[in-house]
Structure 1
């Protein structure tokens, strides 16, 4: 809920079945302050009425529409992951997931068809609907020579783990920024601990870290998913209430350690030797340093080295999912669904809906084409 990530990508299919992506431009658009505040206030453990949900859905849809319209010049299609407001998990099963931001607002503002509601089909087919990043990760990374993890550090951290001669595994590892941001709001009155400044002044409280790491979610087997329904201000307050007073800086330092160690534990379980990170958490140098230490001897870099901007990966994931749905190409994110499905619902734009002929074969890879300094193209995979 930090803002709206928007990316424009030019997609094509090569003769060998690989999809080619040329990143065109991307931006982060802020939510109106009152809307962002209202979204945060609607998260559990707070209540949310049907009226409030309707108002928020409309507000998010209109904000998405403005953001898309500002970037849509030359585009043929818009894809939207929506704003998750509730992810319903009971035990090992995801029962439902709800994203706000009705696609009709985007279609009206841009005149373009919109692919949206990208998680629901996976849930209906028995999956968790999250993370969806494995769709991009598996195509981009292919079959790596060593066990490799693509790590996204959003509110929740998730990994796609790819190993030679083994099926891909994808799941949420636990909180990334969710508890850090909840603590920043409670302790600093700000949306985040910018640059990890407060965390850098603290020390890890082993007693607090032990209580946090005792959460049974971390030991559960994948596929699994979680969200701010579980890791929120109420959860943090209840945990802190069970311990002697913890200094503010120590709270932040310990939450950084929680994210770093739970991500590292998840990667170590699968023998990961290389981690490629993306998402908003990459901008926190204290978190990245803690991750590097916890993951060692595995190496930690970012998706920038593959030509995928770290800040825009999730937006490009949405674009890729939209492209695949538009061309009738089923995918399986690997979150437990009963096989590949075409994900998403299509809302017509200003004119009649005219879909292309479905692709004859599944995608075999993803190549990112970025400009050389001299203007010539190069492809990364």
Structure 2
């Protein structure tokens, strides 16, 4: 009953692999993180925007993602002293480079680069991937897909709980006391913060949010950013770098602002996007569980705590799941659901016409 979950998020920091034992409940027994090599990361970032020879480049990048995934799985199994025969399946998210649900022709599209057949060939393990497309085909947003898993591991009957995943894009899961499950993307997460850190610090992220903490929030810029229609749009909704990117920021940015103050303002934008949505849609929330890379950003966590004094902010680590493992475990869970022919989406989250079994299977 061992399934490996793989996640490579919008932040493009690399691949997280978690081995999950489903013999009883979902229990993580091992974790490995491998960063992308610089050339692959650069190409994946470039493919988030239109460019020359995209079909050729995307196909080769999908092969590169498969090889990176296979190497990470091999490293994980080595740490556990296991071989591929011990693993029932790999649940692999792929690398999102475009996400345009419900647009253009009514269905739109979502694109996660990954050659699933190549990953199955290289690993010798069955692969379940392309989880979002089935929900889109049923009229949904295709994202976020983690709320059903959040409900299983973080839900507390009789209590209003919310889960905030601070990846490249931020998403909220609302778990009210009555047992319902809703969720939606709520803002840019770390995507703009990491972009600004790389440009001005030469670092892939602002460690602990220390640089942002020393800046001053510019209220004029903050209000200009929050004025984007995405923030006021009711769920279901999802987003990605298609919206929150360098061009989006540049059109709203006063170039006279000090870079450190811009960083402080971008951190406030991430915190406000989540806090405003939670206060508007689930003001009775008694506990907010935070996961994703942003959970390690002390400044961001402090701003969330200040904006949501009644919410009881805690890390997912308090539930026994390190913040950087939650999404990988969720995709192992989704792969297990696929193998058992169980639905992985929730209509209240994505807006699909019904619950569907998600993913495509590439046998070993």
**TM-score above 0.5, yes or no:** yes
- For 1:138-169, what per-residue CA distance to the aligned partner results, in whole angstroms no more than 9, with x for missing partners? 12234532321111000000011011237322
Matches within 5 A, 1:25-36: 25-36=30-41
Matches within 5 A, 1:38-117: 38-44=43-49, 49-72=54-77, 73=82, 74-89=86-101, 95-117=108-130
3-state SS, counterpart of residue 317 of structure 1: helix
| Structure 2 gap segments, 5+ residues each | 1-11
Aligned residue among 4, 12, 22 for 2:15: 4
Contact 2:102 2:136 in 1 (8 A): no
Deviation at 1:111, TM superposition (A): 0.9
1:331 and 2:310 matched: no
Partners of 1:22 and 1:29 in 2: how far apart? 21
Aligned residue among 122, 131, 144 for 2:144: 131
Aligned residue among 228, 249, 252 for 1:236: 249
Aligned residue among 247, 251, 261 for 2:258: 247
Report the TM-score when normalising by structure 1.
0.85
Deviation at 1:266, TM superposition (A): 0.8
Partners of 2:165 and 2:22 in 1: how far apart? 23
- For 1:251-286, what per-residue CA distance to the aligned partner results, in whole angstroms no more than 9, with x for missing partners? 110011001111001111121231001001111111
1:299 and 2:312 matched: yes
Matched positions, count: 341
Contact 2:135 2:142 in 1 (8 A): yes
Partners of 2:279 and 2:335 in 1: how far apart? 33
Contact 1:172 1:226 in 2 (8 A): yes
Partners of 2:66 and 2:93 in 1: how far apart? 11
Q: Residue in 1 aligned with 2:185?
A: 172
Distance 1:219 1:308, change over 3 A: same
Partners of 1:307 and 1:126 in 2: how far apart? 35
Partners of 1:48 and 1:259 in 2: how far apart? 34
Q: Which shows bigger deviation, 208-217 or 98-107?
A: 98-107
Aligned residue among 18, 22, 26 for 2:27: 22
Partners of 1:47 and 1:123 in 2: how far apart? 27
Contact 1:44 1:232 in 2 (8 A): no
| Structure 1 gap segments, 5+ residues each | 14-19, 350-381
Report the TM-score when normalising by structure 2.
0.89
Contact 2:158 2:178 in 1 (8 A): no
Matches within 5 A, 1:259-298: 259-269=270-280, 270-271=282-283, 272-298=285-311
Deviation at 1:329, TM superposition (A): 1.4
Deviation at 1:94, TM superposition (A): 6.1
Cα root mean square deviation, aligned: 1.8
Contact 1:69 1:109 in 2 (8 A): no
Partners of 1:28 and 1:137 in 2: how far apart? 22
1:225 and 2:230 matched: no
More helix by share: 2
Q: Which shows bigger deviation, 104-113 or 136-145?
A: 136-145
Partners of 1:10 and 1:250 in 2: how far apart? 45
